[in-house]
């Protein structure tokens, strides 16, 4: 089964990573690198990336003529934003939860675990056109 693990962090006004010391940032990024290397070694790694800051987000909808309508995002009332994601392939949901808990324990200021919420969602397999009946 494939799973998407999404790291949500406090809203942009509360996001304190830019105030961390260089040593804290190096420790945090080292943790992420080591985690990703471990998942690659176990064959569970599919993909994962950090994402741009909320100030760089755009929201796109389709206008009446089908042309893209682009607005700034995310919305100011957002309490959290998606900072990064992993896609893993595991043999069980329990293993997926173990990986998510490890991600949640990434170090922050002073090396203390951040305990960030990690959203876990199964990645559904594509549906073939012959699987669809009308």
Query: So where are the chain's domains?
Result: 2-125
Please provide the CATH number assigned to the domain covering 2-125: 3.30.70.1060
Nearest to 106 by CA among 35, 49, 41, 38: 35
What is the reported pLDDT for 89?
Answer: 97
CA–CA gap between residue 23 and residue 35 (Å, rounded):
18
- Condensed to tens digits (0 to 9), the pLDDT of residues 17-71 reads 778 899 998 999 999 999 999 999 999 999 999 887 777 788 888 989 988 988 8
- Condensed to tens digits (0 to 9), the pLDDT of residues 96-124 reads 999 999 999 999 999 999 998 899 999 98
């Amino acid at each position: 089964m494939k799973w998407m693990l999404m790291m949500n962090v406090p809203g942009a006004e509360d996001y304190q990573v830019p105030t961390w010391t260089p040593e804290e940032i190096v420790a945090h990024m080292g943790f992420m690198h080591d985690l990703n290397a471990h998942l690659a070694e176990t064959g569970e790694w599919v993909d994962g990336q950090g994402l741009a800051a909320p100030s760089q987000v755009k929201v796109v909808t389709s206008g009446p003529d089908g042309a893209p309508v682009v607005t700034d995002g995310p919305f100011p009332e957002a309490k959290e934003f998606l900072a990064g994601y992993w896609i893993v392939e595991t043999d069980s949901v329990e293993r997926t939860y173990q990986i998510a808990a490890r991600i949640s324990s990434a170090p922050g200021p002073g090396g203390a675990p951040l305990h960030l919420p990690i959203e876990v969602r199964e990645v559904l397999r594509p549906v073939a056109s012959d699987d669809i009946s009308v």
